[in-house]
Chains A and B, each alone.
Chain A
Amino acid sequence: MSHLLEVTDLRKEYPLQSGLLSAVMGSRRVVHAVNGVSFVLDEGGSLGLAGESGCGKTTTAKLILRLLHPTAGSIRFAGRDVAALDGSDLLSYRRQVQFIFQNPYEALNPRFTILRSLLEPLIIHEIGQSIAERVERVAGALDRVHLNPPETFFLKYPHQLSGGQLQRVVIARALLVDPVLLVADEPVSMLDVSIRAGVLNLMRELSRERKLTTIYISHDLALIRYMCSVTAVMYLGTICEIGPTEEVIEHPRHPYTQALVSAVPDPDPTRPRRPVEIADTVPTPFQLPAGCPFADRCPQVMEVCRHLRPLLLPVDAGVRVACHLYPDSTPRTAEGYGAKMEPH
């Protein structure tokens, strides 16, 4: 069976702008923003990419959206290599994959009215026969995201709307092209607590109603638990644990996941917590250690962790973990998910 989205050993490196000395010496330092990410996503599935700032989750999203080009690795959508798409194939890909931005205040052109912004996808994809029909579609989309009555929003500019309303407009814009895959990067982190639930519920309804496949990117595990059936936890550009959301959050296996889950504060002050302590160091995505990227901070670090990078391998209950604490029966080869690949 083929998957809707298949990401294989995805890598993205940025050359580091370094000083004159290193330029003369000819040394080339790179930032490994995404360092070998692999996962598959089936139609109708919902994946949560969790992790702290700088773990590469947003870069992964932008690679999938083809806003960035990968350094190595591949992304296949419905069996086709995304990097190789061009012309009408690319346009059709753009129609099938949509993005919800983190900052709704910046996601709409400040000089466009809401109507103008929402007509844009219809113009680009030549949806609708006449301007009247397009306006009808826009009205329908605004209505669907509970912005009522739609006409009252047509001539508003983004700065006249609240964050919650703007995010709904952004969702409406994505819906207008009838996408298959929806990627949302921290869709509510800029919104006030009291209105977050409204936006999240809307997105849940929409994905159920339209059988959307979704990827949610968030630092907030609670949000991912609410929205996603599968969770991948990222650290320094790699996935350290992936599996069914309930499993990953209730029984975290990777020491990093354990620390992350236990550190999340709880709104209920009576519930006891036993946080796992890990060191506060400056994790830098350049000059990665040869071994496990988490080794420096890991409370259960072993000798092997410092020189051998663990592979993302199945443990149990459908969970895959990249950690030497979970020795695996399959023999290690140079192939596979965590294999070190020299950039060409």
Chain B
Amino acid sequence: MSLLEIDTLAVQYHTLHGAVQAVRGVTLSIERGRAVGLVGESGCGKTTLARALIGVLPRNAAITGGRVRFDGADLLQLSGDALNNYRWRRIAMVPQAAMDSLDPVYRVGDQLVETMRLRGGLTSPQARERAERLFALIGLEPGRLRLYPHELSGGMKQRVVIAMALALDPQLVIADEPVTALDVIVQHQVLRTLRELQETLQLSLLLITHDISVVADLCDDVAVMYAGRIVEAGSVREVFAAPHHPYTMGLRNAFPSLRARSARLVPIEGYPPDLASPPAGCAFAPRCPFAIERCWHDDPALLPTTGGRLAACHRAAEADALRTQAPQAFARLETTGPQSVRPGAPPAGGTL
């Protein structure tokens, strides 16, 4: 059984302009000891998903459906102490920009100790001892516990924040953009530390990022999110080598690589849909060069394709053929623009 099982989870925001469906039925599971990367663009719902898992959604957001099972327990049914027993202790989170939330007037060691006492009920000496071990684990000398945040580099602060997440020995760590604000050299070092920790502590890791390269670097599995849905999931190697969803195919040619001299890049034309009024069909259809009539009114489910992979695409069976056409097909869209009008719009009422 997986450690974490998310089943058709839905989250809505209530805004001045009506309800925004930020997460629209996400199904995802994380096995014990695996690192899963959740990639998507800004506004695709990845941070909302993470916050829903740990129960720290903003006030105007609410879970409107689905289930989250952690180690057999239904997290969404828990509240109060029972939930706190999971939150921070068994599931920990490194929030976005967490390193900037370190309090500048306290020593980082004291902040770490305080976290353990408050959330874990450890005594002061216990917490101090554990803080030193944690620092050793993340590759900082214990002496640095006595420093103030401004005396640490960005990479070190990010390590401290990771140590805080690990303080109570969680089974699952959710890290939201853990290296985004860091310079590339330090980024690489923090990622490697994270990877080593995940392997030695047998952690499960959910890494949330917009940067596909970071996932390729660190994770075993990947889930690609678009407009509040998972559109493709599988092992990192397979998904990146042979994507089954047109969005993932499009992303491959959408940004330059350092290692290879890039041919002309091909953007994915258009913009993600407005989730205040999500489309009836596949959310990617207007930007998809392979959209067929069915895609415009029938939202594809995330279904197994070949080799234990999952994809939410009506044409997933043709993926191998589509992939070879993808660069040219996306390039054609770049010149014609996104499809605002359905090609061959079906008569009212639909044909299927």
Contacts and interface: CB of A to CB of B under 8 A. Distances in A.
Q: Do the two chains touch directly in the complex (Cβ atoms below 8 Å apart)?
A: yes
A268 B268 contact: no
Interface in A246-278: 246, 249, 259-261, 263-271, 275, 277-278
Contacts of B240: 267-269
A237 interface: no
Given A148-B337, A201-B265, A201-B267, A267 B213 contact: yes
A263 B213 contact: no
Contacts, number: 125
Interface in B203-261: 210-214, 216-217, 236-237, 240-241, 247, 250-259, 261
B186 A193 contact: no
B153 A266 contact: no
> Which residue among B153, B186, B256 has the maximum number of chain A CB atoms within 10 Å of its CB?
B256
Contacts of B262: 222, 225-226
A1 interface: no
Nearest to B187: A263
A137 B240 CA distance: 44
B185 A263 contact: yes
Given A198-B269, A225-B256, A266 B216 contact: yes
A200 B212 CA distance: 19
B156 A280 contact: yes
Given A197-B265, A265-B216, A162 B271 contact: yes
Given A225-B258, A267-B212, A195 B185 contact: no
A265 B188 contact: yes
Interface residues of A, number: 42
A193 B258 contact: no
A194 interface: yes
B16 interface: no
A259 B271 CA distance: 36
B169 interface: no
A198 B214 CA distance: 22
A192 B269 CA distance: 12
A335 B250 CA distance: 52
Given A194-B268, A200-B265, A249 B258 contact: yes
Nearest to B189: A280
Contacts of B264: 201
A260 B184 CA distance: 7
A264 B236 CA distance: 18
Interface string A179-202: 000000000000011111111110
Nearest to B269: A198
> Which residue among A52, A197, A226, A261 has the maximum number of chain B CB atoms within 10 Å of its CB?
A197
B345 interface: no
Q: B interface, how many residues as a size bin?
A: 35 or more
Interface string B186-206: 111101000000000000000
Contacts of A194: 41, 247, 250-251, 254, 267-268, 287
Contacts of A92: none
> Which residue among A162, A199, A200, A281 has the maximum number of chain B CB atoms within 10 Å of its CB?
A200
B214 A265 contact: yes
B311 interface: no
A52 B184 contact: yes
Contact of B216 (A192, A261, A269): A269
A53 interface: yes
Given A148-B337, A196-B255, A265-B214, A164 B271 contact: yes
A162 B187 CA distance: 28
A145 interface: no
Contacts of B212: 193, 267
B216 A268 contact: yes
B267 A196 contact: yes
Nearest to A271: B259
Contact of B257 (A162, A198, A222, A282): A222
A97 interface: no
B325 interface: no
Contacts of B267: 194-199, 201
B299 interface: no
A223 interface: yes
A196 B258 CA distance: 15
Contacts of B191: 265
A184 to B, nearest CB: 15
Contacts of B337: 146, 148
A11 interface: no
Interface string B312-351: 0000000000000000000000100100000000000000
Q: Which 7 A-B pairs have the closest CB atoms?
A: A198-B267, A197-B267, A197-B265, A265-B213, A52-B183, A226-B256, A194-B268
Interface of B: 41-42, 151-153, 155-156, 183-189, 191, 210-214, 216-217, 236-237, 240-241, 247, 250-259, 261-262, 264-269, 271, 287, 334, 337
6 contacts: A222-B256, A226-B256, A265-B188, A267-B212, A277-B189, A280-B156
Given A269-B216, A269-B237, 4 more contacts: A162-B271, A192-B41, A226-B265, A265-B217
